[in-house]
Amino acid sequence: MKKGIIYIVSILVFIAIVLSGCIRADIPEKEYSKDKAEKSFLPVHNPYPVQTKTIDGVDYLLSRSPAGKYGGVFVTSTIGEGPKTFNSWNSMDATSSLAADIMFDGLVTTDAYTGEVIPRLAKDIEILPDKKTYIVHLRHGLKWSDGKEITADDVYFTWNTIIFGGFGNTSTRDAMYIGTELPKIEKIDRYTVKFTTPKPFSPFMRQLSVPIAPKHILEPVTKQGKKAFASFWSSNTNPKDFVTSGAFRLKEYVPAQRLVYERNPNYYIIDEKGQKLPYLDKYIILIVGDLNNELLKFKSKELDTVGLRSSNVALFKEKEKSSDYKIYNLGPDTGTMYFAYNLNTRKNDKGKYYVNPTKQRWFNDLNFRKATDYAIDRENMVFNIAGGVAAPLFTPEPLSSIYLNEKIAKGHLQDMQKAKELLKESGFYWKNKKLYDRWGNKVEFDLYTNAGNTERESIGVMIKQDLEELGMTVNFKPIEFNTLVSKLVNSNDFDAVIMGFTGSPLEPYGGKNVWYSNGTLHVFNMRKTPEENKKLFPWEKKLNELFDRASLELNFDKRKALYEEYQQLVYDEKPIIYLYSPIRISAVRNKFGNVYPTELGGVIHNIEEIYLK
């Protein structure tokens, strides 16, 4: 037992070093370095520079790691019921994006080692002096999995028709608006396109990472309309029907069990020996019901990697030296865990309120939201759910963000007395230890999260207890993930929710679809029509303004000031209440080569380079 305590203490010291070692830099595309990897106890890897090698007219991208060998299978996992779609441009949930995006590449990607934007399908991108014109030169000779060449027609179609045309998930399009205008795209020749933005637009380059679609396959579908596009490449599609550009292509999908991918023989990355990547024969994603089942599958050697949580870290760390795996600390999670009330005060198409009017009054009372914030015991969550392998979170930006508002990141401790005083200010009172509003209505509401995610289920139990200590009656209801997503995004039929957003420590603008008033993930106050979007809370209007200004600001310090202001506004108004930030600890089998985990890329960011030793 004492030995276990020693390991926990050493891990907490380990975490403290990581949190104190987060780098801030003046250039937002060069924040992560060898120095940070050393402070994070990650393997120090000096990747080869990004280079192109032309062979027989094909512009191959060179691998940035030593040559490996062919063969082997890598098995990872995902929680839940599996993907809803394989249409990368229509995906609205993380599982579907995971399943689809591995099959497609974009023009650029983010360097997992440095944070810089680097070419992918693009051979290079020329930015003209006006800072508004981008000339994209594609690699010559690249092919889709069906043998057709990848050309400027595919790029033009993807951006002009699918994205700017509003097909599928419109988050990318919405994030590209500059005022009321979208960038323009023009085909120059077979391998060249030109993008022109109305004004210099700081997030533009990172947005070009969106997967490129095969025009010859998807154009006939878009001509049938948006409904046909939304149902195309559904989870029932025969894997042989997919036409892809990524390192792997789907071979088999067994619902609620597994996704099996095979090597794409037409992939355009080669190693120093001229061997085409990827090396692995197969990449498999097992669909596991919950986090406990995921851990059991790793222990039984069905998985090659697993994310570790809470007390498991000490146990796995203790056994590491005599095991067949290695543990990596990836630093603070780049996503955010949150609690939110539904602030919607409008009616749906059938004339029914999204949220009961009585509950509307509670949820839209700032004192009620602040009381909730003060009632939540984040320290208790950190130590009893995350086993100390986490830190309290109070901002919409992850703790590793170069734009983090350090002032509010410190937050506050649980304060039940403060919470009660806030409720009293708004006329709430207690009778038989139950909370009532000034009109005599008992405070009772439903709280949702996704079933199977045992971490979020545990959070839900703790929040229920904290809020019931305030006298609220909380009906905690974990439900299937896809059903929950539909409640949040489609029907807006929920009272309160515990969920998470993916994020980036490099660019807050990627969260525009959450914070902009008409964003597709503005779940706490979803709007469906232009008329609804005119009725904004003052702080929502201010958030719109801050994101607009930040997108046009090219100076890093000035952008940081704007993003700090948006974090302060969210902290003050509390449309979303943040909980804690787990430290990402992963175990990976040591039978693989070219495994170079990074804080930005995670464990298998370079899956095409990984090989079985």
The parts of the chain modelled with pLDDT lower than 50 are 1-40
CA distance 524 to 508: 19
Note the helical H segments in 144-258. Answer: 152-156, 171-176, 204-207, 215-222, 226-231
Mind listing the domains of the chain with CATH numbers?
A: 336-582 (3.10.105.10)
**What pairs with residue 46 in β-bridges?**
none
Cα-based distances in Å from 63 to 53, 72, 73: 10, 19, 20
Nearest residue to 502 (alpha-carbon basis) of 179, 101, 201, 176: 101
Residue bearing tokens 């392998």: 389
Q: Three-state SS across 399-435?
A: CCCCCCCHHHHCCCCCCHHHHHHHHHHCCCEEECCEE
* pLDDT for res 165: 96
Q: What pLDDT sits at residue 12?
A: 36
Q: What pLDDT does 36 receive?
A: 41
pLDDT at 351: 77
Whole-number pLDDT of residue 41:
56
Angle between helices 366-375 and 416-425 (to 10 degrees): 170
pTM to 2 decimal places: 0.80
Nearest to 319 by CA among 587, 595, 598: 587
Q: What is the pLDDT of residue 22?
A: 34
